[in-house]
Amino acid sequence: MPYTDQTASEFLEELTKVSRKIRTTFNKKVTAHGLTYPRARALFRLAKKQNMTQTELACDLELEQATLVRLLDRMEENGLIERRPDANDRRVKLIALTEHGEEQAAFVRALADQIRHQFFEGIDEAELRQTIELMQRISENVSNVEVDDVRA
């Protein structure tokens, strides 16, 4: 049975609400422990992939370069990261977690795990898998929307 515009609209509204609530909850949890949301996200990403370039990290975090540079400056001042020269390109700096940064990243990961368990309480694997597939299909459709289509 095809969806109605009303159902699609309600779905997008709920998706927006849940996304906002997830971010707000995570933000409250990390700030309660002296971190900022952007710093926690950067730690999380760098723990997954060490030695990222600033450009890669900016793309991953969806931040402007200038905003990322300020964030990295603070993280470096706090002993969380090091900027290392790239052997292949002297203009590029690679970002790596320090030992303190790795400890903080592990803390953020544990906090995220705890929150995730709370978010998905009472939801079974099959429901989650079905929703993931649905979100992937919607994401693909969104990617296929041409800018010109929106202007028309």
Cβ atoms of 58 and 41 closer than 8 Å: no
**What is the domain-level CATH number for residue 41?**
1.10.10.10
Overall domain count for the chain: 2
* 105 and 130 share one domain: no
Q: Nearest Cα to 80, choosing from 32, 46, 29, 37?
A: 46
Contact partners, residue 51, CB within 8 Å, separation at least 6: 84, 94, 95, 96
84: left (phi over 0), alpha (psi -120 to 50) or beta: beta
Which residue range(s) make up the domain with 53?
A: 5-121
Contact partners, residue 68, CB within 8 Å, separation at least 6: 54, 57, 58, 61
Instruction: Take residue 81 and report the two structure tokens written for it.
Output: 């990261």
* 55 and 82 share one domain: yes
For each of the chain's 152 residues, which pLDDT tens digit applies?
788 999 999 999 999 999 999 999 999 999 998 888 899 999 999 999 989 999 999 999 999 999 999 999 999 999 999 999 988 888 888 999 999 999 999 999 999 999 999 999 999 999 999 999 999 999 999 999 876 555 55
Q: What is the pLDDT of residue 110?
A: 95
* 53 and 75 share one domain: yes
Cβ atoms of 81 and 72 closer than 8 Å: yes
* 110 and 140 share one domain: no
Q: What is the pLDDT of residue 88?
A: 87
* 67 and 131 share one domain: no
* 71 and 130 share one domain: no
* 76 and 111 share one domain: yes
Q: Nearest Cα to 42, choosing from 59, 23, 25, 19?
A: 59
Q: What is the pLDDT of residue 86?
A: 87
Strand partners, 82: 96
